[in-house]
């Protein structure tokens, strides 16, 4: 059982590093990500920073094993919103085959990360969904 726990922690640490790198990318190249922000959404480039912050905070939460269940569910909600409001419309509206393929890859990537985050949340049974000192 200890071996399973070690492998599980390593996989969570790997996801943490990936999320933190995604977050840093949002801070370093916000203008590159601005094209993904729907025009109807007020705030423009600020959303790149908000999303980058969210990725970094979730990654840190997973690394420190604090508020894991809560941040996992928030990550899942955020990724589902991305899939439904950004990636699926990009897939449907893409005229170019390469752009359509990239949108599909983004749908699959975010779906996989959301699935992993749900698995992490389910494994955080010792943590409560509410925010208290006992978490």
Residue 119 domain flag = yes
Residue 108 domain flag = yes
Give the chain's count of helices (H) and strands (E): 6, 0
Q: Who wins on pLDDT, 122 or 127?
A: 122
Residue 90 domain flag = yes
Q: Who wins on pLDDT, 4 or 31?
A: 31
Predicted confidence band at 128 (pLDDT cuts at 50, 70, 90)? low
Distance from the Cα of residue 13 to its chain's centroid? 14
Predicted local confidence at residue 114, as pLDDT: 97
- Residues 91/103, Cβ–Cβ less than 8 Å: yes
The mean pLDDT of the chain is 88
Helix 2-28 / helix 46-64 crossing angle, nearest 10 deg: 160
Residue 132 domain flag = no
Q: Compute φ and ψ for 88, nearest 5 degrees.
A: -65, -45
Our count of domains for the chain comes to 1
Residue 85 domain flag = yes
Predicted local confidence at residue 78, as pLDDT: 96
Predicted confidence band at 3 (pLDDT cuts at 50, 70, 90)? low
Range of the domain at 32: 2-123
Residue 129 domain flag = no
Residue 133 domain flag = no
DSSP code for 73: H
Q: Give the position of tokens 């480039």.
A: 45
Structure confidence by residue, pLDDT tens digits, 73-108? 999 999 999 999 989 998 998 888 998 999 999 999
Residue 134 domain flag = no
d(CA 33, CA 56): 16
What is the pTM (predicted TM-score) of this model? Answer: 0.84
Structure confidence by residue, pLDDT tens digits, 25-82? 999 999 998 887 777 778 888 999 999 999 999 999 999 999 999 999 999 999 999 9
9-38 mean pLDDT: 92
């Amino acid at each position: 059982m200890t071996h399973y726990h070690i492998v599980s922690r390593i996989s969570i640490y790997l996801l943490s590093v990936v999320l933190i790198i995604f977050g840093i990318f949002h801070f370093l190249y916000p203008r590159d990500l601005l094209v993904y922000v729907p025009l109807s959404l007020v705030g423009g480039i600020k959303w790149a920073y908000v999303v980058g912050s969210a990725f970094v905070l979730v990654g840190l939460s997973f690394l420190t094993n604090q508020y894991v269940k809560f941040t996992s569910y928030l990550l899942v909600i955020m990724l589902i919103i991305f899939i439904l409001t950004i990636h699926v419309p990009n897939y449907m509206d893409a005229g170019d085959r390469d752009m359509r393929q990239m949108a599909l890859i983004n749908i699959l990537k975010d779906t996989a990360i959301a699935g992993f985050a749900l698995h992490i949340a389910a494994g955080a049974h010792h943590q409560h969904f509410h925010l208290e000192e006992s978490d």
